[in-house]
Structure 1
Amino acid sequence: MDDILGSARATLQPFLKVSNLTDLYNAYTTIPTEYALVGHCLFLAALAPEFKHRFLVHFWITFLAGFGGGVITSILMMDPVKAPINILANNSLGVTWFICWWLIVYSPYNIVGRIHSMPPVKMITKLCLTFLRAKLIINRVELAVVLFPGVIAAPLILGTLAGSGGKLLVDAIRYHWGGLQGPAEASVPTFVWRSAALAAGGYWVASKYTNLLTSQEAAAIVITVLLIHSVLSDLFGSDVTDFTYPVAKIAHALSLVPLPTETALPAASKAAKKSALSQPPVKSARQQAPAHAAGSSLKQSHQPQPSTSTVSSQSKAGALETAPVKPAASGKNVVIKADSSNVKSGKKQESKKTK
């Protein structure tokens, strides 16, 4: 405990002597990376609680949420010396991540998870995450300028992916499994993508393209702005403190590119809606019943009426068929009665012929 308090005092002392942006950046460099990494991992492990019953899925989803930007940019840079994949480069990151993940998710009686859920503790771990995220964006812009000299797209793309690649990966995985609530980051960019793009673009323009500021001064501004937003978003909400939305709105208005919305219909649903509107309306069963009855009555009226003799003969035959038969003692008597009636009818027909 004394060591932690001593390191905290040593970390705060440089901030008390800050007089310019360069001093502020030097004060940021005195923050122990190990402690920032612990807070970073604790905050990430508390994400995606719906996947806790699937330990492997939860382990990798939460890992990619915080370290996915570094993994993507390392793969794109193709330089394992200057930009190695973080979890494969050293043991400290992998061990720290595993211990923090287990403590948050599976500690006995959820002791660590309950302590981390307290607002002051959660605010500190979120600051650690924001601090490392800002440092990664700056690092990727610097490496892109060195590895791809003279290329404008390299620092902008790699810096933006460094700060938003984790969210892009996790949203893609959630969408594939049907567990994504709302639109994905790639379809409707939020503060995560916009802040990464502004940080990468602002740092590159200020320190590399125009040389208005030194690299240390520009880095101090980027880190400070993101840290202030992290604190204010916890106090007042993310929607109120989102400073990137007005900038995005102005950029879309000047470029005539519409802002993506959550209620936009996909192409398939629009085509289905147009085809449904072009088809004639289908009548319900109640509306079709009177028309069907009228058509059947008209058909019956057009059919030729049978003669009276045929009607009478048909009625007699129907009466004989439908007349109730008294139960007989045996089946033989019934057969004999039916034969005698047939004989009588045959004699009547012969007498009519002779007449």
Structure 2
Amino acid sequence: MPSEFDLISRHFSRATGHTDLAGGDDGALLTASAGMQLVVSTDMLVAGTHFFSDCDPESLGWKTLAVNVSDIAAMGATPRWATLALSLPVADEAWLTAFARGFYDCATTFDIDLIGGDTTRGPLNLCPTIFGEVPSGCAVTRDGARPGHDLWISGQPGRAALALAALRGELELGPAYRDEFMLALHRPQPRVALGKALRGLASAMLDVSDGVLGDLGHIIERSQVGCVLDTDSIPIAALTAACPDPQRTMQALLHGGDDYELLFTAAAAHREQILAISHTLALPLHRIGRIDDQRGHLRTQAANGTEKPLPACGFDHFN
């Protein structure tokens, strides 16, 4: 049976591109670029909580890194380095080969060096830490939303939640949409280019991992504002085409997690620039609401002006 160090050497040791000293010592050595701040984030994935234990290991390798890259994107930063801590029930060579292939596929796509980590025996648990860079003072945080600002969402939230429900046997997805929705769940696409393009335009931003409403609640809380969602602007059509249950699709869009789209606010004066970014990146950006001064209050507004309060609740590991 291979040792811990054999596993690391065989599966997680590759040449790095922008690291002074990577794996093989007690720590890595990095040099941040001049005029940059470091952005650091950790996002753990646990079997049975974040993924099925029998899921495809190559897709899991991609997702393990991608969900961390998404945190860097949400601050308008560029991902640069990552570490990976693995708890494995057994040293399955075939599983590790496929997992590493997916992990490095994501790392190559976003030009990230794997610079170290750890392995141990135990329940399947995947814990990367990612490091990125952003020009000093330019990081987009959650506390900059102001009354009058627009609320935007990228892409198509809700696909991953519907895919998960389909895997659980709770619904059937239309065959024309199933592969697309499963891809959204298993191989999310971090919006790094969008996050960088929104520096200086977005006033607050985060990635949607625990549901649009739940994550919007973090912006409302940190910025000490309220928000009105425009029900006619919420991008629901693609979901209802795949699953014609309106209650299920709206639940998936507003409360489902695992989308890793960017939710952000921006002054109304930036609308044309944001739409130009959407065109350049070939990525839909939807203006779905507005920020107001009703601190802590989240509600929807229909075309006739009728408002309805909403709870800002998403996925919570302890509830």
Does the alignment reach a TM-score above 0.5? Answer: no
TM-score by length of 2: 0.25
Name the structure with the higher helix share.
1
* Greater RCO (CA < 8 Å, at least 6 residues apart): 2
Name the structure with the higher strand share.
2
Task: State which structure, 1 or 2, has the greater radius of gyration over its C-alpha atoms.
Answer: 1
TM-score by length of 1: 0.24
